[in-house]
């Protein structure tokens, strides 16, 4: 039966009955990276330097060197990224279970709320309201928050740094706790530069989308885009980080499989 399912899936992809939606931002030197206040060490933005381009250094080939932090652009947060997940044996980019790189996605659309309130916080109440309409979030699913934040193409507006820290939407601590403890999700994904709200340094616990998710061996996805092209339920995400030895995360290409019709 599984064999037949896989053959049908392959056929549906080839025939475009199942569409592949790219949820990935372009990786380039202008890609915004998270800004930390001193004394914390900053991350490197994306850098690229030419090795050769059909020239004396390589007459028939073109290639570049690139460098960046593990958490640059559209990227994966592995559980060891946070101190709460530091001892998980299967919590680094090279040790996480690859079976979990493919999982269904639930998309909670709070874009209208975020347009009105840059510091909008997703609550358990709001998640339950979503479930009333779309059904219970299944165990092992990605939960993605559609904020339309990726449409902020100006890096300054995307980071939205103010005197009291970033004004960026995200989940409150209770929402994260609910997704971890009551729904046993695969992970939590957002369109913003990091998985936590801009003001999450003041939450209890601080940075709950990191502290609680990673402590429970759950993943994170940040700087996603095109969430407005996904249905609330039914999409399947393919999100596999680079197999960096002991890595805390990595830039990656996030793809969503979406059925074109109900048949």
- Measure the N-to-C terminal CA separation of the chain; round to a whole number of Å: 18
214 part of the interface to Mn ion, by CB under 5 A? no
Q: State which residue, 69 or 106, has the beta carbon closest to Mn ion.
A: 69
Q: Does 191 bind Mn ion (CB under 5 A)?
A: no
Name the residue nearer to Mn ion (CB basis): 93 or 130. 93
Task: Tell the smallest beta-carbon distance from residue 101 to Mn ion (Å).
Answer: 17
- Stretch of residues binding Mn ion (CB under 5 A), selected from 2-10, 56-64, 71-79, 112-120: 71-79
Residue with the closest Cβ to Mn ion? 71
Q: Which is nearer to Mn ion, 110 or 193 (CB)?
A: 193
Place of tokens 């960026």: 168
Residues, the chain, total?
263
Among 71, 126, 146, 183, binds Mn ion (CB under 5 A): 71
Active-site annotation holder among 81, 167, 210, 214: 81
Closest distance to Mn ion from the beta carbon of 147 (Å): 16
**3-state SS record for the chain:** CHHHHHHHHHHHHHCCCEEEEECECCCCCCCCCCCCCCCCCCCCCCEEEEEEEEECCEEEEEEEEEECCCCCCCEEECHHHCHHHCCCCCCCCCCCCHHHHEEEEEEEECHHHHHHCCCCEECHHHHHHHHHHHCCCCCCCEEEEECCHHHCCCHHHHHCEECCEECCCEECHHHHHHHHHHCCCCEEECCCCCCCCCCHHHCCCCCHHHHHHHHCCCEEEECECCHHHCCCCCEEEEECCCCCCCCCEEECCEEEEEECCCC
Shortest separation between residue 209's beta carbon and Mn ion, angstroms: 10
Q: Bridge partners of 258?
A: 19
- Quote the least distance from Cβ 214 to Mn ion, whole Å: 10
Q: How far is the CB of 249 from Mn ion (least distance, A)?
A: 5
Stretch that binds Mn ion, among 41-49, 76-84, 131-139, 235-243 (CB under 5 A): 76-84
Q: Which one of 43-51, 74-82, 101-109, 112-120 is the stretch in contact with Mn ion (CB under 5 A)?
A: 74-82
What is the nearest approach in angstroms of Mn ion to the Cβ of residue 111? 22
Cβ proximity to Mn ion, 126 vs 187, nearer residue: 187
Q: Which CB sits closer to Mn ion, 71 or 126?
A: 71
Q: Does 77 engage in binding with Mn ion (CB under 5 A)? A: yes
C-beta of 18 vs 196, nearer to Mn ion: 196
Count, residues near Mn ion per rule CB under 5 A: 2
Q: Do residues 121 and 156 lie in contact, with contact meaning Cβ atoms separated by under 8 Å?
A: no
**Please, how many CA atoms are within 13 Å of residue 54, restricted to the half-sphere of its CB?**
0
- Is 134 considered catalytic here? no
Active site residue ranges: 81
Residues engaged in binding Mn ion (CB under 5 A): 71, 77
């Amino acid at each position: 039966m599984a064999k037949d399912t896989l053959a049908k899936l392959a056929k549906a992809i080839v025939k475009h009955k199942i569409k592949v939606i790219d949820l990935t931002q372009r990786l380039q030197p202008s890609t915004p990276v998270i800004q930390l206040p001193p004394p914390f060490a900053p991350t490197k933005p994306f850098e690229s330097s030419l090795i050769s381009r059909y020239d004396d250094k390589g007459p028939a080939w073109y290639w570049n060197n690139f460098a960046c932090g593990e958490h640059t652009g559209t990227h994966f947060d592995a559980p060891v990224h946070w101190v709460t997940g530091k001892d998980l044996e299967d919590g680094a980019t090279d040790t996480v279970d690859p079976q979990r790189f493919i999982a269904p996605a639930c998309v909670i659309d709070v874009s209208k709320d975020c347009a009105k309130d840059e510091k909008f916080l997703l609550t358990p109440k709001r998640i339950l309201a979503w479930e009333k309409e779309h059904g219970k979030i299944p165990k092992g699913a990605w939960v993605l928050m559609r904020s339309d934040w990726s449409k902020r193409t100006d890096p300054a507006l995307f980071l939205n740094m103010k005197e009291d820290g970033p004004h960026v939407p995200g989940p409150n601590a209770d929402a994260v706790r609910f997704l971890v403890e009551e729904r046993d999700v695969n992970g939590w994904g957002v369109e913003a530069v990091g998985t936590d709200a801009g003001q999450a340094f003041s939450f209890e616990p601080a940075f709950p989308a990191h502290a609680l998710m990673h402590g429970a061996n759950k993943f994170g996805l940040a700087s996603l885009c095109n969430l407005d092209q996904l249905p609330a339920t039914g999409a399947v995400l393919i999100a596999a980080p680079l197999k960096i030895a002991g890595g805390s995360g990595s830039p990656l290409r996030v793809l969503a499989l979406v059925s074109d019709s109900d048949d």
